[in-house]
């Protein structure tokens, strides 16, 4: 079974020592109660309840999976009880609006709870995670009447919600969708069509399920300009606001999947189901993106969450597994062999996973703080600047965190060798569960295109300029720190490469639009390495200042991991710059029939 203890010490390091979270939150509307003591207490209790209640359902949930019985989905044993425990404790309402029963706590705190939940059981975490995304869409776009009817019990977790986009013939290209919506005389709509890959489309943990369905009105324009969003519940509400008559929708089947088997992935059929318009007609994508932007950050965090479990499990194994002798001479001569932690290649794999995980946690905390500033800061200029940074880095978080998470899980399985391939150790489940995060909420290549083809062009390049300025200001602030040069100088060199890549892209794509697609992934990876390097340099400086008198070894370990990152991973920026400059012809000149 995989090993996991919530990394509370590292979370406190990111929140309090790197981000100085309490000072930043003090100026944000509604965050006055988010003191350091409150944040630490919430995360400590989150760790306890997730480790005791949710984590035990992970391996058994993977083994049992979901089942479809007489048109109803049954989640694995233990899921419903765990869900009810978290719901009764108010865990699903942490970052939600108090007007609808939420606790109003900062987004930054809520997402650190979500990491712990995802690590404990990723499949289980998808049910409340999707509800939180739907809450975002309804909060920003639904009418007051819809909010009053549906939001309080979505916030409490009594009801859940799902997003319904994909159809059998279309995924990313939503302009092709065929699900129909017809206006009814009573102001509602009748929804007909089939959606696939609907995570949580049906389950047995909540009394009702809200489906946010993208559909096309009969007189809508073609393409994405003709898409509307509708709230389509499993059960219609009666006069008292309670679930009553079953709506005209049902589960056609559930998918048999590679991983996340405890999450019900449904084919949903809508046969004239009653729905209510969310937002404006033909503006459904605008509403859906409020949900999808949250979900993309959440999915990125899944890569970190599983990478953390993989690292903890592999590090524990490497400290105990005896195999061979150290190349420098026996380290444990009293034993028949040395533990494999002495071998450089084992350390390479473990340090790669650790550098990815801790760098991602710091970057995710920083981005989450920008979300709070974007939503709550009283100064419009600050909100705009924070929004630019979130928009720029969302595709990076989604794609690179999940790529790194999958790599970390594979590396850590390799540390266990043959035992990693055997189910009882829990590592192969992590590899299977992690793989989907690179695909859903938009395949990672799509996010690279979004970054290079859209985000870099927005507002005349303002988004990237803001981030480059953040990095330059940091470098300026520490230029006199001789003790930090080993961390700062490599970041400065990588930043130059990012600027060179950005300038090259502007010229190349003006000559040939194919260059956007050919260079997009390499560019996104380069930007991500700079962003990780920025976080690792900041972390190293904090650790350098705090290590004296620390007997725990925490800060020394942080410095060692930062050194590994800047010397062994950050130099990849040089090869990525060379690769994207290779040009589109290396990919596009081969005829399609030659593949």
CA dihedral (452, 455, 461, 467) in degrees, to 10, reads -100
Alpha-carbon span 155 to 159, nearest angstrom: 8
User: Does residue 427 belong to any structural domain of this protein?
Assistant: no
Q: What's the mean pLDDT in 483-488?
A: 96
Count of structural domains within the chain: 1
Alpha-carbon span 430 to 298, nearest angstrom: 17
Alpha-carbon span 373 to 379, nearest angstrom: 9
User: Does residue 514 belong to any structural domain of this protein?
Assistant: yes
pLDDT in the model for residue 170: 81
User: Does residue 544 belong to any structural domain of this protein?
Assistant: yes
Helices (H), 377-477: 380-416, 427-435, 444-450, 462-477
DSSP per-residue letters across 500-528: HHHHHHHHHHHH-THHHHHHHHHHHHHHH
User: Does residue 209 belong to any structural domain of this protein?
Assistant: no
User: Does residue 113 belong to any structural domain of this protein?
Assistant: no
Q: What are phi and psi of 275, to 5 degrees?
A: -140, 165
Cα atoms found within 13 Å of the Cα of residue 16, Cβ hemisphere only: 15
Reduced to 3 states (helix: H, G, I; strand: E, B; else coil), residue 183 is: strand
Average pLDDT over the chain, rounded to an integer: 95
What's the distance, CA 201 to chain centroid?
20
Q: What's the mean pLDDT in 130-146?
A: 95
User: Does residue 481 belong to any structural domain of this protein?
Assistant: yes
Give the single-character DSSP code of 513: T
Reduced to 3 states (helix: H, G, I; strand: E, B; else coil), residue 6 is: coil
Q: pLDDT tens digits, residue range 79-98?
A: 999 999 999 999 999 999 99
pLDDT band at 303; cut points 50, 70, 90: very high
pTM here is: 0.96
Structure token digits, residue 15: 């929140």
pLDDT in the model for residue 423: 95
The pLDDT > 70 percentage for the chain reads: 100
Domain hosting 577: range is 450-586
Asked if the model's pLDDT at residue 300 lies above 90, the reply is yes
Q: What are phi and psi of 312, to 5 degrees?
A: -60, -40
pLDDT band at 511; cut points 50, 70, 90: confident
In which element (H, E) is residue 211 found? strand 208-217
pLDDT in the model for residue 196: 96
Q: pLDDT tens digits, residue range 396-455?
A: 999 999 999 999 999 999 999 999 999 999 999 999 999 999 999 999 999 999 999 999
User: Does residue 537 belong to any structural domain of this protein?
Assistant: yes
User: Does residue 19 belong to any structural domain of this protein?
Assistant: no
Q: What's the mean pLDDT in 454-464?
A: 94
380: region left, alpha or beta (phi > 0 left; psi from -120 to 50 alpha): alpha
What's the distance, CA 504 to chain centroid?
30
Asked if the model's pLDDT at residue 47 lies above 80, the reply is yes
Q: What's the mean pLDDT in 272-296?
A: 90
By annotation, the residues acting in catalysis are 441
- Note whether 180 and 215 are within 8 A (CB): yes
Reduced to 3 states (helix: H, G, I; strand: E, B; else coil), residue 474 is: helix
Reduced to 3 states (helix: H, G, I; strand: E, B; else coil), residue 148 is: helix
Asked if the model's pLDDT at residue 174 lies above 80, the reply is no
Asked if the model's pLDDT at residue 66 lies above 90, the reply is yes
Asked if the model's pLDDT at residue 223 lies above 90, the reply is no
Give the single-character DSSP code of 442: S
From 572, 577, 579, select the one nearest 533 (Cα to Cα). Answer: 572
- Tokens 């990491």 sit at which residue? 115
Alpha-carbon span 465 to 474, nearest angstrom: 14
* Burial class of residue 35 in the structure, from the number of CB atoms within 10 Å of its CB (0-12 exposed, 13-18 middle, 19+ buried): middle
The C-alpha angle 590, 169, 513, rounded to 5 degrees, equals: 35
Q: pLDDT tens digits, residue range 331-343?
A: 899 999 999 999 9
Q: pLDDT tens digits, residue range 238-282?
A: 999 999 999 999 999 999 999 999 999 999 999 999 999 999 999
Least confident of 29-33, 326-330, 457-461, 520-524: 29-33
Q: How far apart are the first and last CA of the chain?
A: 42
Cα atoms found within 13 Å of the Cα of residue 17, Cβ hemisphere only: 21
Reduced to 3 states (helix: H, G, I; strand: E, B; else coil), residue 389 is: helix
What's the distance, CA 217 to chain centroid?
32
Alpha-carbon span 181 to 137, nearest angstrom: 19
Q: What are phi and psi of 561, to 5 degrees?
A: -70, -40
pLDDT in the model for residue 177: 87
Q: How many CB atoms lie within 10 A of CB 589?
A: 9
pLDDT in the model for residue 338: 93
Asked if the model's pLDDT at residue 32 lies above 90, the reply is no
pLDDT band at 30; cut points 50, 70, 90: confident
The C-alpha angle 489, 494, 497, rounded to 5 degrees, equals: 135
Asked if the model's pLDDT at residue 211 lies above 90, the reply is yes
Q: What are phi and psi of 182, to 5 degrees?
A: -120, 135
Reduced to 3 states (helix: H, G, I; strand: E, B; else coil), residue 300 is: helix
- Note whether 72 and 204 are within 8 A (CB): yes
Asked if the model's pLDDT at residue 175 lies above 90, the reply is no
Cα 531 to Cα 19, 187, 347, 360, 495: the distances in Å are: 15, 49, 24, 9, 9
Asked if the model's pLDDT at residue 591 lies above 90, the reply is yes
Q: pLDDT tens digits, residue range 467-481?
A: 999 999 999 999 999
Q: pLDDT tens digits, residue range 400-414?
A: 999 999 999 999 999
Reduced to 3 states (helix: H, G, I; strand: E, B; else coil), residue 275 is: strand
- Note whether 124 and 160 are within 8 A (CB): no
pLDDT in the model for residue 324: 92
């Amino acid at each position: 079974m995989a090993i996991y203890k919530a990394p509370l010490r590292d979370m406190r390091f990111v929140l309090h020592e790197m981000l100085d979270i309490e000072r930043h939150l003090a100026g944000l509307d509604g965050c006055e109660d988010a003191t350091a003591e409150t944040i630490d207490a919430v995360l400590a209790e989150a760790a306890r309840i997730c480790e005791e209640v949710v984590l035990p359902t992970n391996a058994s949930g993977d083994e049992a999976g979901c089942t479809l019985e007489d048109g109803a989905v049954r989640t694995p044993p233990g899921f419903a009880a765990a869900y009810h425990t978290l719901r009764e404790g108010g865990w699903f309402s942490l970052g939600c609006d108090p007007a609808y029963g939420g606790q109003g706590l900062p987004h930054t705190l809520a997402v650190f709870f979500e990491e712990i939940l995802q690590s404990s059981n990723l499949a289980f975490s998808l049910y409340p995670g999707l509800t939180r995304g739907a809450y975002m869409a309804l909060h920003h776009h639904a009418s007051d009447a819809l909010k009053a009817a549906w939001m309080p019990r979505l916030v409490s977790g009594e009801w859940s919600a799902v997003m319904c986009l994909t159809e059998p013939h279309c995924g990313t290209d939503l302009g092709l969708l065929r699900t129909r919506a017809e206006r009814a005389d009573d102001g509602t709509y009748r929804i007909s069509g089939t959606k696939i890959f609907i995570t949580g489309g049906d389950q047995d943990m909540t009394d009702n399920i809200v489906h946010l369905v993208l559909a096309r009105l009969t007189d809508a324009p073609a393409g994405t300009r003709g898409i509307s969003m509708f709230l389509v519940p499993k059960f219609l509400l009666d006069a008292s606001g309670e679930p009553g008559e079953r709506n005209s929708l049902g589960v056609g089947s559930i998918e048999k999947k590679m991983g996340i088997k405890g999450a019900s992935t449904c084919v949903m059929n809508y046969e004239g189901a009653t729905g209510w318009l969310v937002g404006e007609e033909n503006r459904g994508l605008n509403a859906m993106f409020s949900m999808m932007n949250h979900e993309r950050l959440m999915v990125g965090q899944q890569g970190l969450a599983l990478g953390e479990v993989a690292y903890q499990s592999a590090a524990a194994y490497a400290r105990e597994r005896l195999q061979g002798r150290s190349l420098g001479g026996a380290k444990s001569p009293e034993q028949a062999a040395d533990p494999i932690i002495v071998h450089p290649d084992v350390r390479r794999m473990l340090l790669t996973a650790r550098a990815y995980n801790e760098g991602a946690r710091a970057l995710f905390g920083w981005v989450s703080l920008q979300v709070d500033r974007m939503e709550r800061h009283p100064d419009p200029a600050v909100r705009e600047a924070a929004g630019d940074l979130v928009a720029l880095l969302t595709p990076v978080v989604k794609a690179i965190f999940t790529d790194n998470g999958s790599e970390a899980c594979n590396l850590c399985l390799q540390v266990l060798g043959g035992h990693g391939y055997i189910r009882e150790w829990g590592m192969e489940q992590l590899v299977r569960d992690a793989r989907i995060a690179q695909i859903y909420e938009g395949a990672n290549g799509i996010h690279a295109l979004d970054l290079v083809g859209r985000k870099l062009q927005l507002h005349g390049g303002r988004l990237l300029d803001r981030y480059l300025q953040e990095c330059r200001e940091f470098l300026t602030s520490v230029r006199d720190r001789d003790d930090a040069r080993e961390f700062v100088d490599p970041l400065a060199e990588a930043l130059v490469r990012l600027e060179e890549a950005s300038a090259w892209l502007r010229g190349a794509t003006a000559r040939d639009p194919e260059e956007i697609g050919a260079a997009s992934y390499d560019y996104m990876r380069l930007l991500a390495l700079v962003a990780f390097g920025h976080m690792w340099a900041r972390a190293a400086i904090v650790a350098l200042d705090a290590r004296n008198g620390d007997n725990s070894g925490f800060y020394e370990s942080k410095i060692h991991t930062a050194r590994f990152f800047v010397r062994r991973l950050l130099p990849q920026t040089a090869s990525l710059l060379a690769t994207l400059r290779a040009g589109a012809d290396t990919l596009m000149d081969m005829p399609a029939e030659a593949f």
